[in-house]
Amino acid sequence: MDKGSIFEAVKESLIEELGVEEKDVNMDASFYNDLGLESLDLLKLFFGLEKKITVRITMKEIQGLLQGNISEEEFFDENGLVSKAGLEHLQKLFPEYNLVEIAGELDQLKLFSLFTVRHLVNMIAEKAYSMA
């Protein structure tokens, strides 16, 4: 399964299952900021995608991608914001963002706002490849 066909399946699911406008769906669209989805919407999207492409993605897997091998206690500080270690990991994962600008505001909810269609497509492609 190539990334183009995965993107088309994601796009189709976003439009059909969640009523997202086709013009808003692109590889760089953030699920939260650009498409206006919430965590329950993502769960519905993942369920619909599993039926279409037989690859299961969970919120736990996305959280694992975002946090890497860093424990939750180390990833977040005592105020629930992403720690310095967490920011260093995220900057490698998301070089397209300047995370220093939002470092003091980046909590768990805003953390998920970094996740884009491209990240989901890549995640599905890697998982499909490992299953083959």
Q: What domains can you pick out in the chain, each with its CATH number? A: 3-125 (1.10.1200.10)
Alpha-carbon distance values, 117 to 8, 32, 33, 77 (Å): 11, 10, 12, 28
What's the pTM value of the predicted model, to 2 decimals?
A: 0.85
Task: Report yes or no: 53 and 124 within 8 Å, Cβ to Cβ.
Answer: yes
- What is the tens place of the pLDDT at every residue in 34-45? 999 988 898 999
Q: Read off the pLDDT of residues 107-125 as tens digits, 9 standing for 90 and up.
A: 887 888 888 999 999 999 9
Give Cβ neighbours of residue 115 (< 8 Å, ≥ 6 apart). Answer: 30, 31, 32, 62, 66
Two structure tokens written together for 63: 């959280």
